[in-house]
Amino acid sequence: MQRRLLFLKNPSILLIIIVIFSFPVASQVLASSYAITDLGTLGGTKSVAAGINQHGQVIGFSTTAGESATHAFLYSGGRMTDLGSLGGTKIYANGINASGQIVGSSTTAGERATRAFWYANGGMTDLGTLGGTYSAAFGINASGQIVGESKTAGDSATHAFLYSGGRMSDLGTLGGANSSALGINAIGQIVGYSIIGGTPPGKKSLTGSGQYSIAAAGDSHAFLYSGGRMIDLGTLGGTQSFAISINDSGQVVGSSTTAGNSALHAFRYANGVMIDLGTLGGTQSIAFSINNGGQVFGASTIAGDRETHLFLHTGGRMIDLNPFFPAGWFLGAANAINGAAAAINDAGQMVGSGTINGQTHAFLMSPIGQDLGSAIGVFRNGQWFLDANGNGAWDGCGTEFCFTGFGQAGDMPASGNWNGGSKNTIGVLRSGTGEWFIDRNGNRQWDGCVADGCYSGFGQAGDLPVAGDWNGTSFAKIGVFRNGQWFLDNGNGKWDGCGTDLCLSFGQLGDLPVAGNWNGGLKAGVGVFRAGTWFLDYNGNGQWDGCDVDRCYFGSFGQAGDFPVAGDWNGDGKAKVGVFRAGTWYLDYNGNGAWDGCGIDRCYFGSFGKQGDLPVAGRW
């Protein structure tokens, strides 16, 4: 994800545009409300958020104490961390991937030059240039490929670059002198803009906001770089266009002047066609990022160009997001698209900057009342840690659910909607005794057997707990797995024999059990994980019918030693598989049973849980 400040000059309009690249995400539903968090600063009076990854980690820049410098930051777990520098005082973080690798630009000692950087494992690396004295990085994908721009030899021109495998490659132009790459998707497709004719822009200079400005005297066109060639995407009828973001389906968003260069409008480009997304009633709009669900995040002026508002374009309509902000936030002046937003992540969280109490501060906008699917959690010897906000990262006990007093060391965790509600609550099987304790009222504490639930005689030493709606009555029941045999309760919490309860044979000795509504139906089906291979009872009849009828995933998701989990990760109503590996999570987000990389599926690297924890999943 990255932020660029462009000054676009033509005969008809003069606009300030902050351009943001966001790694694509998938969020299908508009939240009923949003929680707005002021991220603060690094000691100064100003901060700007430039990007957010799927774990909710935010990057950007902030002034330091006394406004003496501008430094890049990482905001994670409620804390803003200074990323340091390459020796200078002007450092900007522009992009972050799912692994927490960050890219941007930093001046060198004495402010003699500006260099693109890659930040990982606590260290900042200079990526060099294409031969000149300046470079800046704006985007990074899950594979660690980096895009940006650099001066060429003699500082004669600025060209888009791709940095991959330790080497910076010149991507060329559309025929003019200059180009810049702003975004890259999971399969390595790159977007940006290039001068195609006229007098090329003059030398870049730092603006008051700390971003590089371009006075675009020549015509600039959006491009898509794919298969080794740069493709001109055209315009909406004017002479200028800029491509900002691309998702994994190859959909591109950005902005373009309209006929006569009378206005600037957000666009979406797909299948060879550039579509005007319109405005919120004014004459100007810009698209900042697009997610894998095709939602577009941006900003637009309202009627009369009185103010600039954020928007989310989804389902063919543009929704004004400003009403979701509390009183006191100011997000944009009339006739200026100037920093109302920056990026959106997989959970639908958005980041950007606005004015609060007279100062420019970065904000985090988190959806409330939006059920995006199952979230993760861990059980640790009687302690529970549940990802309440669903971002896959540990954000502290004030944000997440952390509690003790329900279960003890040696218990085995389970979760289910024991009371028939829309949320999951916890439970434990005390495997040494076969006793169950479930949090029926959902308050995350033990209230005794009357308010909660106590079951004895369902299971024995060595059994593994499972939970699911085995008979389609809309609430979860308990069950146990014993060396390939399943014993599933009818809902009364006691063992009534195979004629009343369910007894199934599915799996074998050494398998690990999972359960979920694999086909989206009312009933939960069983499944087993066997050293990297999955066998799922897709049709829900409780028996193995072969890979054509049921589901087999052979070595495509997980490995021996992993703990299996199941959940509706993307909120489409169907359970998918996942694994927990010593503090790292890998979730089959798209539900195809294969590992497609962190850009399409989900990876949470050491951000939630640790070695020895037992995983759980649910809608908390």
Coil, strand or helix at 394: coil
Tokens of 401: 């659910």
Length of the chain: 620
Measured CA to CA, the distance from residue 445 to residue 429 in angstroms comes to 16
- Burial annotation 30-52 (CB, 10 A radius, 16+ → b, else e): bbeebebbbbebbbbebbbbbbb
Coil, strand or helix at 461: coil
Coil, strand or helix at 300: strand
What is the value of pTM for the model shown?
0.60
Q: Are 116 and 135 in contact (CB under 8 A)?
A: yes
Number of CB atoms found within 10 A of residue 344's CB: 31
* pLDDT recorded at residue 383: 96
Would you call 613 exposed, middle or buried from its count of C-beta atoms within 10 A (0-12, 13-18, 19+)? buried
Number of CB atoms found within 10 A of residue 123's CB: 10
Nearest residue to 375 (alpha-carbon basis) of 30, 56, 37: 56
* pLDDT recorded at residue 34: 80
Would you call 321 exposed, middle or buried from its count of C-beta atoms within 10 A (0-12, 13-18, 19+)? buried
* pLDDT recorded at residue 369: 57
Tokens of 133: 């004295």
AA identity, residue 277: L
pLDDT tens for each residue of 333-390: 543 443 334 788 767 788 889 999 999 999 998 877 555 578 999 999 999 999 988 8
Nearest residue to 49 (alpha-carbon basis) of 36, 37, 61: 61
Measured CA to CA, the distance from residue 143 to residue 130 in angstroms comes to 22
Measured CA to CA, the distance from residue 128 to residue 297 in angstroms comes to 32
Q: Are 465 and 413 in contact (CB under 8 A)?
A: yes
Identify any residues that bridge with 63 across adjacent strands, giving them in sequence order. 70
* pLDDT recorded at residue 291: 79
* pLDDT recorded at residue 572: 76
Nearest residue to 294 (alpha-carbon basis) of 269, 319, 311: 269
Question: Rounded to 5 degrees, what are φ and ψ at 530?
Answer: -130, 90
AA identity, residue 609: G
Measured CA to CA, the distance from residue 398 to residue 368 in angstroms comes to 16
**Cα dihedral 306, 310, 314, 315 sign:** negative
Instruction: Report how far apart, in Å, the C-alpha atoms of 87 and of each of 41, 148, 492 are.
Output: 21, 20, 67
Could you tell me how far CA 219 lies from the centroid of its own chain? 34
Q: Tokens 């090329």 appear where?
A: 200
Could you tell me how far CA 393 lies from the centroid of its own chain? 11
Q: Are 567 and 575 in contact (CB under 8 A)?
A: yes
Q: Which segments in the chain show pLDDT lower than 50?
A: 1-29, 199-217, 334-341
> Could you give all domains of the chain from N- to C-terminal order, each with its CATH number?
2-368 (2.130.10.150), 375-618 (2.115.10)
* pLDDT recorded at residue 605: 84
Question: Rounded to 5 degrees, what are φ and ψ at 346?
Answer: -65, -30
Instruction: Report how far apart, in Å, the C-alpha atoms of 474 and of each of 422, 470, 523 are.
Output: 10, 9, 8
Q: Are 314 and 298 in contact (CB under 8 A)?
A: no
